[in-house]
Chains A and B, each alone.
Chain A
Amino acid sequence: MTATTAIGAGLNRIEAAAKVTGAARYAGEIPLDGHAYGSVVQSTIARGQVTMIDADAVLARPGVLAVLTHDNAPRLHRADDTDAELLVLQDDRVRYRGQAVALVIAETLEQARAGAELLDVTYQPEDHDVVFAADHPRLYAPEHVNPNYPTDTSVGDVDAALASAAIVVDATYSTPAEHNNPMEPHAAIAQWDGDRLTVYDSNQGATSVRQALTTLFGLADGAVRVLSEHVGGGFGAKGSTRPHAVLAAMGARFTERPIRVTLTRQQMFAMVGYRTPTIQHMRLGADADATLVALEHTAYSQTSQVLEFAEQTALISRLMYAAPNLRTRHRVVALDVPTPRWMRAPGEAPGSFALESAMDELATACGVDPIELRVRNEPSVEPDSGLPFSSRNLIACLHEGAERFGWASRDPRPGVRRDGRWLIGTGVASSTYPARSAPSTAAATALADGSFVVEITASDIGTGARTALTQIAADELRAPTERVEVRIGDSDFGQAMIAGGSMGTASWSWAIAKACRELLHTLHEIGTVPPEGVTAHADTAEDIKAQAQLSRHAFGAQFAEVRVDVDTGEVRVPRLCGVFAAGRIINAKTGRSQLIGGMTMGIGMALLEEGVMDPQFGDYVNHDLASYHVPVNGDVHDIDVSWIDEHDDRLNPVGVKGIGEIGIVGTAAALANAVWHATGHRHRHLPIRPDRVLTSLA
């Protein structure tokens, strides 16, 4: 492992000064000479056909340069792995409400928007089906669930074990559609130079966007360059190419000018993905001493008619607890809805709500403390696969959290603590998230002046990646951080993992460490740095292939205190406590922020966030920040985040597990469990809205 000087310190975010002064340029703010603007026209039906688009009136308006529709838009190429959402304006089919059906291009943004609003689109609507249900007749078992896990797993005989179990919990939970809502709306500006394409885009991984655009426009390798120096959040919504970038490139090709396309907040709700709603059926069986004998997790989710997106909701139940009889299943239904995508901890976030709520119900049914229940059912190997864990410190997190939170003095009885109109309760849940790495390339250069430059197509969407990678490179190069410049967000630096799946830092640090070690080796051999500098390249593809098969996961424990207003049904969260075992934390300051941010999004998931589908019009009706509620500062009070010192040298050279997502895993369950403890009522359907609380108290 790397000797540490910079790693672990709370180095200030390197680009923070640019951000606080307004100097940082995001994709939609890059000025290119002579650029014009594209405004997206979205379908107003959920299913059917575009029969006519009358563009003449719009084309006659001042400043309007073009109206792209399926009739005249550049034809796109597709490969086997092409994301069908990107095949915009290629045919007349409408597959969901809010799909792009045209792009109006004009000299100014206002002119483009005015044209888009006025564009006359005629449809032949067909009956649509947008209502998700666990008994939908078209539910099916996908071939695998995201990204490539088995759909169903089964160990032992769950039915027999449940039939003879002393205690059974059998309950159904649900989570609604949730929308990522990074604060920066998706934007891209595209420019062609012959058959070379340059795109400034807001994304979580520039090489994946480069790859998609290369295929779609049938270009040679190396013809596309994607840049994303600053990205205003993503949470999965920028995890792969989104239609705005394709539309910008199409518009630029058509008009032979640079074209900028920025989505509005409202457009994002249909166009950039969201978390699928889930319905989850849990069956847990235990014997009298609270030892699990069976665990079954059946998860239902939705996908679109455009492509299959199969959320890996029940994955968490394959590894958390030692049930000798264990079955997980996923079923999906394709509806006439926008395609769901990744949102912070896809799978684990909704899955943990069901599993960790059910564990709380089981603890009550068995009459044991919820922490003790988890201790008794701690597995020695991954229950489903039998693989050993590279490290697993769940119990240490639970105990450390119990200590910090003051769990020991908790009275387990529900509904007995009252302070005026407030009922008070506490709850606990476990967290986990996979700790994976993916192949990446990096280059490290020593310059004659004694400084270093490291180049990698990493993306800093607010995570602090740029800063953490600088610390890692500095330690590898045994140089102070001020002498190391890490350049990111440019696909010309070569293939690298996206900022997703909590794999960014783990993957990039591996490539950087390898390049830096190689560079030091070269420097050692040549003695002095030549005037032109010297560069070492690294690619981790072979190293990652050679990794031993292990179950690699981060773990954590979350504790929540709630106050429930008996008159209004409002749930307040005076404090949350999270303790995590996530390998090495590279930067204490940015790392803590990541975990607090995840837990805060967990408050949103538990209490506020809900995309409401209108069955009649097939639309997420609350598609703005006035009606889709994300947490505001008044929703968040004391959040105590800490981590245990964890050294796991079977992950990657730097010992990183990734912390972007685990913060949201388990928060909603801890809060729901606390609401039960406060009120005596179990909330199995998120969000725990005031009306639901009031109904339960009535």
Chain B
Amino acid sequence: MRLTFDVNGVGQQADDVWPGESLLYVLRERMGLPGTKNACEQGECGSCSVYLDGTLVCACLVAAPQAQGRAVRTVEGLATDSAGGLDHIQQAFVETGAVQCGFCTPGLIMATDDLLANTPTPSDAEIREALAGNLCRCTGYEKILDAVRLAASRRTEVTP
């Protein structure tokens, strides 16, 4: 099938898509966007988190045809408004030391973006719940939670 959809604000088309392909596969192997990671491919780790029409999904669990005519946003599309710089969430992950090997990081950034868009001043319990589906084998999560707290505090500074 032919898949037509929007990725990070740009119209895209993929031909000869087998209906069994995942959105993750299309992004990584067809669109050349490997920022979205594949660490389990069965919905267990959150590394593949992207927005599908504004809803956070595991791209590995979305069949490619489900993206037909819809808009996908990946980690590569987050910071575009600030001229290639980092957005405040990405900046917070860098500063707090929340990134080690970085393989879980894109998924966590997406999950944090989604959390703070809906809950600008999350409690610790809300942060933990929002990131419950994201596995990280390196950091022990502590610095990731710090990063979310820092990003939330900065966000409320700029948009009270």
Interface size of B in residues (CB-CB distance below 8 Å): 55
Contact between B90 and A20, CB atoms less than 8 A apart: yes
Contact A22/B25 with A13-B94, A184-B39, A232-B103 known, Cβ cut-off 8 Å: no
A237 CB to nearest B CB, Å: 10
A-B pairs with beta carbons under 8 Å apart, 22 shown: A10-B97, A13-B100, A19-B99, A19-B102, A20-B105, A21-B86, A23-B76, A24-B102, A26-B34, A28-B34, A109-B25, A110-B18, A182-B137, A184-B39, A184-B101, A185-B38, A593-B143, A597-B100, A600-B140, A632-B141, A633-B128, A636-B140
Kindly state whether residue A240 has any CB partner on chain B within 8 Å.
no
Kindly state whether residue A682 has any CB partner on chain B within 8 Å.
no
In the complex, what distance in Å separates the CA atom of A29 from the CA atom of B35? 9
In the complex, what distance in Å separates the CA atom of A12 from the CA atom of B131? 23
Contact of A22 among B20, B33, B40, B93 (CB under 8 A): B33
For B104, give the chain A residue with the smallest CB separation: A183
Contact A624/B40 with A12-B95, A108-B29, A633-B128 known, Cβ cut-off 8 Å: yes
Contact between A625 and B100, CB atoms less than 8 A apart: no
A235 CB to nearest B CB, Å: 7
Contact between B109 and A13, CB atoms less than 8 A apart: no
In the complex, what distance in Å separates the CA atom of A182 from the CA atom of B104? 10
Contact between A183 and B136, CB atoms less than 8 A apart: yes
Contact A600/B141 with A22-B33, A108-B29, A626-B44 known, Cβ cut-off 8 Å: yes
Contact between B79 and A31, CB atoms less than 8 A apart: no
For B47, give the chain A residue with the smallest CB separation: A183
Please name all residues of chain A whose beta carbon is closer than 8 Å to the beta carbon of B35 when the two chains form the complex.
Answer: 21-23
User: In residues 591-634 of chain A, which contact B (Cβ within 8 Å)?
Assistant: 592-594, 596-597, 599-601, 624-626, 630-634
Q: How large is the interface on A (under 10, 10 to 19, 20 to 34, 35 or more residues)?
A: 35 or more
User: In residues 28-82 of chain B, which contact A (Cβ within 8 Å)?
Assistant: 28-29, 32-42, 44-45, 47, 74-76, 78-79
Kindly state whether residue B10 has any CB partner on chain A within 8 Å.
no
Among B34, B79, B128: residue with most chain A CB under 10 A: B34
Please name all residues of chain A whose beta carbon is closer than 8 Å to the beta carbon of B97 when the two chains form the complex.
Answer: 10, 12-13, 589-590, 592-593
7 residue pairs, one from A and one from B, having the closest CB atoms: A22-B35, A462-B101, A19-B102, A232-B103, A600-B140, A462-B100, A29-B34
Kindly state whether residue B145 has any CB partner on chain A within 8 Å.
yes
Kindly state whether residue A520 has any CB partner on chain B within 8 Å.
no
Please name all residues of chain A whose beta carbon is closer than 8 Å to the beta carbon of B21 when the two chains form the complex.
Answer: 110
Contact of A109 among B29, B102, B134 (CB under 8 A): B29
Kindly state whether residue A40 has any CB partner on chain B within 8 Å.
no
B residues at A contact (CB < 8 Å): 18, 20-21, 25, 28-29, 32-42, 44-45, 47, 74-76, 78-79, 86, 90, 93-95, 97, 99-106, 109, 128, 131-132, 134-145
In the complex, what distance in Å separates the CA atom of A463 from the CA atom of B99? 10
Contact between A20 and B32, CB atoms less than 8 A apart: no
Contact between B36 and A22, CB atoms less than 8 A apart: yes
Contact of B101 among A231, A599, A600, A639 (CB under 8 A): A231
Please name all residues of chain B whose beta carbon is closer than 8 Å to the beta carbon of A461 when the two chains form the complex.
Answer: 101
Kindly state whether residue A244 has any CB partner on chain B within 8 Å.
no
Kindly state whether residue A25 has any CB partner on chain B within 8 Å.
yes
Contact between A596 and B139, CB atoms less than 8 A apart: yes
For B77, give the chain A residue with the smallest CB separation: A22
Contact of B132 among A235, A633, A636 (CB under 8 A): A633
Contact between A232 and B101, CB atoms less than 8 A apart: yes
Contact of B100 among A17, A464, A639 (CB under 8 A): A464
Contact between A264 and B41, CB atoms less than 8 A apart: yes
